[in-house]
Amino acid sequence: MAELTYRQAVAAALAQEMARDDRVVLLGEDVVSGGVFKTTAGLHEKFGADRVWNTPISEQAIAGAAMGAAMGGLRPVAEIMFADFYATCWDQVVNEIAKVRYMTGGQVRLPLVLRGANGSGGLGFGSQHGQSVENWAMCVPGLKIVSPAGPAEAFGLLAAAIRDDDPVLVFEHKALYGRREEVPEGEHVLPLGRARTVRAGGDVTLVGLSITVGTCLEAADELAGHGLAADVLDLRTLVPLDAAAVLASVRRTGRLVVVEENPGQLGWGSAIAAIAAEEAFSDLTAPVARVSGGNVPLPVAASLEAEVDVSAARVVAAARAVLNYR
Amino acid sequence: MDGLELYVRMCFLRHFEERVDLLYRRGLIHGPAHLGLGQEAIAVGAASVLRPGDCSLGTYRGHAHALARGAPPDAVLAELLGRAGGICQGKGGSMHITSVEHGYFGSYAIVGAHLPIACGLAWAAKIRRTEAVTVCFFGDGTTNIGAFHEAVNLAAVWRLPVVFVCENNWYMEYTPIADVIPVALPAADRAAAYGLDRVVVDGNDVTAVQRVVGDAVAAARSGEGPSLVEAQTYRLKGHSAADAGAYRPAAEVTLWRERDPLLRVRAALTAAGADEAELDEIDSRTRSDVADLARQVLDRPVPEPSGAWTDVWSDGSWQWRN
């Protein structure tokens, strides 16, 4: 076991896969110098100029070049520096990358990864650099969506994404980049579409993703202080979705709180809530509760940010409400 | 490839598209169809300088570009007609004709989207040192969209083995290109911004296209980087099969009909001593070949509905959850 930060885990996973397969190449803004979040640190020095390519600030060119390269026999990993910038290359992502396999009747496959920094986490990045945008991608068939909650997941899920023969979007959380954790030694790959039970409990199910897994754990600690045991589930990936894990937990607890960082007006949590309502209705002893980011663009001042971001206190309140439901 | 073979191929494309137009007007084409009538010299001339292993990409006006690389015409027609055995299994239609087996990496219906993708194919060839060249066809209207700038810039900065061929037919859909560009020529007058040469070719002269695109492809293959070629041409019909093109002045249409690339190649062949009767025979043979093909394809069954559920994930499924 080695203790790595989340950002070191990203770089280490890239190094592991680049060493394993010389078709894996990197492209993106500033990736040669290690990137603004230092997630590609040392890779240019280690693997050379043929494997790590700096691009202009041209997200359409980055995403499109990744797609073309994947059709041309490489397994590119493109950095979209901030996930908010997907808006500048959304055509490439949803109209081209997501659909080309289908539209060509299976003539091509796209083993490519788009990855970058996502989320708020109270860092003051504001409306154009602090959004959680997994839900943007979730309504587009053809994309896989990965969102790691810690260093070991950041490593293992990125490795799996690179080995996948379909396009995968990896949303790294910028507020977790400094988080440290033991990461298994040797080859570390986690399957896509398998949720993780972070803590077992029988009273209420808390479902989180990425940074909200920590929020759920914090809430679970507080609930435990009141003698309430929460089952905390880390989804790890939204597509493929481990719906079976959510449903199995709900069958045990009868109560579900879904915690997402993006605005709730159409967040991924609504899909989880709908699945629970459709497939576990008779197991539910209370309505599903959702805790989400506010339905506003993100403010910057810390006091305003805290007002709209998810928090353990809001998760606790939601959990208590479903536990007290009569 | 000799002049007669170029003529045969252009005749085939002409009759193919005219047949598609006819089938469209009979209501047999499901969805839109954008015809390459009048632009055959670019598709045939450029394809004639490519090798197996080279890549090409086109727009929603892409039937000719796919066929010129060798895509099987019956499979293309089946795709247009929604019959079994369509080249994209019925999931692409006219605007997404693709034949990877023949190096044609797709027809793209979002204007400009495929220029960055062409960069990626060229980038892969550069990294893998395959000497393959990528040729990317697009219309004059594409030069106004951001992806054009991002892609040509990236290709120039990375010195990619890619040739961008602008098919300037002078109309951005229903609007004259002159109304929406601040320069005279949409691609050529912008080449300098990327450190590229200003290259213009008569896109209705198949041998000129062959020469100019051939030079650009050779340069790309020998590591000299990308080119931006503006091939000037004209649509003989409207933007799509549904458009009569009434916004175009009659005198302009007449002028360009006189410059029809089929007439041009015929005149050149005749001047070089070709037998007029043989040229006529090729014309009527390719016309009847296409008509026969259409009849055969129309007799095919429709695709099995279950095919709608495959080709999303690599395992063939569409399941996004367990």
CA–CA separation, B201 vs B23, rounded Å? 33
**Does residue B209 fall inside a structural domain?**
yes
**Does residue B71 fall inside a structural domain?**
no
* Range in B39-48, B159-168, B239-248 the model is least confident about: B239-248
Q: What is the pLDDT of residue B182?
A: 97
Which of B142, B150, B194 would you mutate first to test chain A, the one with the most A CBs within 10 A? B150
Q: Is the CB of residue B309 less than 8 Å away from at least one CB of chain A?
A: no
Which residue numbers of A are catalytic?
129
* pLDDT, tens digit (0-9, with 9 covering 90-100), for B11-30: 999 999 999 999 999 999 99
CA–CA separation, B320 vs B322, rounded Å? 7
* pLDDT, tens digit (0-9, with 9 covering 90-100), for B254-294: 999 999 999 999 999 999 999 999 999 999 999 999 999 99
The arithmetic mean of pLDDT across residues B291-306, rounded, is 97
pLDDT at A93 over 90: yes
Q: What is the pLDDT of residue B241?
A: 87
pLDDT at A129 over 90: yes
**Does residue B28 fall inside a structural domain?**
yes
**Does residue B134 fall inside a structural domain?**
yes
Note whether B100 contacts A109, CB cutoff 8 Å. no
DSSP letter at B304 equals P
Confidence of residue A283 (pLDDT cuts 50, 70, 90): very high
CA–CA separation, B168 vs B154, rounded Å? 22
* pLDDT, tens digit (0-9, with 9 covering 90-100), for B153-207: 999 999 999 999 999 999 999 999 999 999 999 999 999 999 999 999 999 999 9
**R_g of chain B, CA atoms, integer Å:** 19
The arithmetic mean of pLDDT across residues A233-247, rounded, is 98
**How close A50 gets to chain B, by Cα (Å)?**
6
* pLDDT, tens digit (0-9, with 9 covering 90-100), for B82-125: 999 999 999 999 999 999 999 999 999 999 999 999 999 999 99
Note whether B116 contacts A241, CB cutoff 8 Å. no
Structural domain including B31 reads 3-50+110-299
Q: What is the pLDDT of residue A186?
A: 87
Q: Is B110 helix (H, G, I), strand (E, B) or coil?
A: coil
pLDDT at B305 over 90: yes
ipTM: 0.97
How big is the A-B interface in CB pairs under 8 Å?
166
Q: What is the pLDDT of residue B127?
A: 98
CA–CA separation, B260 vs B233, rounded Å? 9
**Does residue B98 fall inside a structural domain?**
no
The arithmetic mean of pLDDT across residues A75-103, rounded, is 98
pLDDT at B1 over 90: no
0.90 surpassed by pTM:
yes
Query: What average pLDDT does chain A have?
Result: 97
Q: Is the CB of residue B55 less than 8 Å away from at least one CB of chain A?
A: yes
DSSP β-ladder status, A230-234 and A204-208: parallel
Note whether A72 contacts B321, CB cutoff 8 Å. no
Note whether A69 contacts B128, CB cutoff 8 Å. no
Residue B122: which CATH number? 3.40.50.970
* Range in A278-287, A311-320, B19-28, B306-315 the model is least confident about: B306-315
**Does residue B200 fall inside a structural domain?**
yes
**Does residue B56 fall inside a structural domain?**
no
Number of structural domains chain B divides into: 1
CA–CA separation, B9 vs A236, rounded Å? 54
**Does residue B43 fall inside a structural domain?**
yes
* pLDDT, tens digit (0-9, with 9 covering 90-100), for A185-200: 889 999 999 999 999 9
* pLDDT, tens digit (0-9, with 9 covering 90-100), for B119-141: 999 999 999 999 999 999 999 99
Distances (CA, A) of A30 to A78, A99, B19: 11, 29, 51
- Out of A67, A104, A241, the one facing B92 most closely (by C-beta) is A104
Q: Are B231 and B168 in contact (CB under 8 A)?
A: yes
Query: What average pLDDT does chain B have?
Result: 96
Confidence of residue B73 (pLDDT cuts 50, 70, 90): very high
Domains of chain A: 2-183 (3.40.50.970), 196-323 (3.40.50.920)
